[in-house]
């Protein structure tokens, strides 16, 4: 089996989560909206217990949790829903250039509907400047959306500061927390967010399940649905709830609440071990993203003189992602790496490591060894690479 270091893409379902879900595929098959019999009551009970677990993990009230199919849907619901429901209050939304596509694309759709969108730049380490936000807010700004942890470079945005400025201005604040829930302390009051997106499959839960937190004690917080139908989830998200998946998300949140700190410490040691080895055994390896304000499991590294795509092809034993997309003949650096303002070689060499709960020290050592070997081999073949000693002027 290859070694899995791609935990930002998805995580395996924890066996305890699978066990918790098991009865709800067969014996406990009721519809949680059936009010007239025990099958429905038991399904509803399971769904509500799961809702409590999700709420507990993020410091919310269960009545503030709307179940969705994942963070893509949660982000769409937050952005489209808040914009459309608050149109008479304003037409301006502020977000950030390094957001996930499931934020950037609904924002582009809102521009088609006549909304104005400001996409804040980030600094060379991937962080938003709160002064830029202050300058971008105007009298018609209804919503600010900035992600918590970036899915490529792992940086943690300064949400409490962003929230303070946003609230002073009277706008609502949404965050995409798909990469932070279960990995950092996520508390909606401490962070100061009004809406928060999360997804089960990034925290050892099932794919196709997520939630949107919607703050209750904000009388102006209205969210228009994007799916119309039976009026489930207080009218914000119609559709029969997938009871087993809800239970899986709940159990994943419960485990995360008990274990995230221990997990994060272990994962951090593994990450530092990998970085230590690669940075001492290889020249010209650069860390992308802020060195301290980053989530434990992430490393995003550029190996100068090596194209990330070529490196991944040379390492079939390791599951990794590159910071570039092969959508055309020429690999293009991702929008996140480009937003850091780094030059071509550094952008094309960006590789993302996502370390998770089950990775071991032996795996990290094996990956480090393979990488050093392959980077040296590819560099020896590359016309772009010259030994640093022979090319001291290269920046």
Ligand X SMILES: *Cc1c(COP(=O)(O)O)cnc(C)c1O
The reply to whether 326 belongs to the active site is yes
Which residues neighbour 370 within 8 Å (Cβ) at sequence distance 6 or greater? 315, 317, 318
The site that binds ligand X (CB under 6 A) totals a number of residues, namely 14
Which residues neighbour 364 within 8 Å (Cβ) at sequence distance 6 or greater? 270, 273, 274, 355
Is residue 215 near ligand X by the rule CB under 6 A?
no
149 closest CA partner among 158, 140, 141: 158
Sign of the four-CA dihedral 240, 244, 245, 246: positive
In terms of CB distance, is 137 or 147 closer to ligand X? 147
Question: Closest separation between CB of residue 201 and ligand X, Å?
Answer: 6
Element (H, E) at 247: helix 243-281
The token pair that represents 192 in the structure block: 């100061």
Which residues neighbour 285 within 8 Å (Cβ) at sequence distance 6 or greater? 278, 279, 301, 302, 303, 304
| Contacts to ligand X from residues 140-179, by CB under 6 A | 147, 151, 176, 178-179
In terms of CB distance, is 202 or 271 closer to ligand X? 202
Pick the binder of ligand X from 100, 232, 294, 379 (CB under 6 A). 100
In terms of CB distance, is 71 or 267 closer to ligand X? 71
Question: Closest separation between CB of residue 20 and ligand X, Å?
Answer: 19
The token pair that represents 376 in the structure block: 């040296």
Stretch that binds ligand X, among 65-73, 129-137, 221-229, 282-290 (CB under 6 A): 65-73
Is residue 72 near ligand X by the rule CB under 6 A?
yes
| Contacts to ligand X from residues 193-212, by CB under 6 A | 199, 201-202, 210
Question: Closest separation between CB of residue 163 and ligand X, Å?
Answer: 18
The CB-nearest residue to ligand X is 70
294, 279 in Cβ contact below 8 A? no
Cα distances (Å, whole numbers) of residue 253 to 11, 156, 181, 189, 232:
14, 20, 8, 18, 22
Question: Closest separation between CB of residue 374 and ligand X, Å?
Answer: 27
Is residue 77 near ligand X by the rule CB under 6 A?
no
18 closest CA partner among 241, 179, 201: 201
In terms of CB distance, is 102 or 145 closer to ligand X? 102
In terms of CB distance, is 157 or 374 closer to ligand X? 157
288 closest CA partner among 353, 208, 213, 223: 353
Question: Closest separation between CB of residue 251 and ligand X, Å?
Answer: 17
In terms of CB distance, is 70 or 297 closer to ligand X? 70
Give catalytic residues, as residue numbers: 326
Positions touching ligand X (CB under 6 A) are: 70-72, 100, 102, 147, 151, 176, 178-179, 199, 201-202, 210
């Amino acid at each position: 089996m290859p070694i899995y270091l791609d935990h930002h893409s998805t995580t395996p379902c924890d066996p305890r989560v699978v066990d918790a879900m098991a009865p709800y595929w067969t014996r406990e098959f009721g519809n949680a909206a059936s009010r007239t019999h025990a099958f429905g009551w038991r399904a509803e009970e399971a769904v509500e217990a799961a809702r409590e677990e999700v709420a507990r993990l993020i410091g919310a009230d269960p009545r503030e949790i709307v179940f969705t199919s994942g963070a893509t849907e949660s982000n769409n619901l937050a952005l489209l829903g808040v914009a459309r429901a608050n149109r008479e209050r304003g037409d301006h939304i502020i977000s950030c250039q390094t957001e996930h596509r499931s934020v950037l694309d609904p924002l582009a759709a809102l521009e088609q509907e006549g909304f104005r969108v400001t996409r804040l730049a980030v600094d060379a380490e991937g962080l938003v400047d709160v002064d830029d936000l202050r300058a971008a807010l105007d009298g018609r700004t209804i919503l600010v959306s900035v992600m918590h942890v970036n899915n490529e470079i792992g940086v943690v945005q300064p949400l409490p500061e962003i929230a303070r400025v946003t609230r002073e201005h009277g706008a609502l604040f949404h965050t995409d927390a798909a990469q932070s829930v279960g990995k950092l302390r996520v508390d909606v009051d401490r962070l100061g967010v009004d809406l928060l997106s999360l997804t089960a499959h990034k925290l050892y839960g099932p794919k196709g399940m997520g939630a949107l937190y919607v703050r209750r004690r904000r009388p102006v917080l209205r969210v228009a649905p994007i799916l119309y139908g039976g009026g489930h989830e207080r009218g914000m998200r119609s559709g029969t709830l997938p009871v087993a998946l809800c239970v899986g998300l709940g159990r994943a949140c419960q485990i995360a609440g008990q274990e995230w700190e221990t997990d994060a410490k272990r994962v951090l040691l593994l990450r530092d071990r990998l970085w230590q080895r690669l940075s001492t055994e290889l020249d010209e390896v650069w860390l992308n993203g802020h060195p301290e304000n980053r989530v434990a499991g992430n490393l995003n590294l550029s190996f100068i003189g090596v194209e990330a795509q070529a490196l991944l092809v040379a390492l079939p034993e390791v599951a990794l992602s590159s910071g570039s997309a092969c959508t055309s003949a020429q690999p293009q650096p991702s929008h996140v790496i480009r937003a850091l303002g780094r030059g071509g070689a550094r952008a094309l060499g960006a590789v993302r490591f996502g370390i998770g709960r089950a990775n071991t020290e032996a795996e990290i050592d094996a990956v480090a060894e393979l990488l050093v070997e392959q980077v040296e081999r590819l560099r020896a073949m590359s016309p772009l690479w010259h030994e640093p000693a022979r090319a001291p002027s290269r920046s």
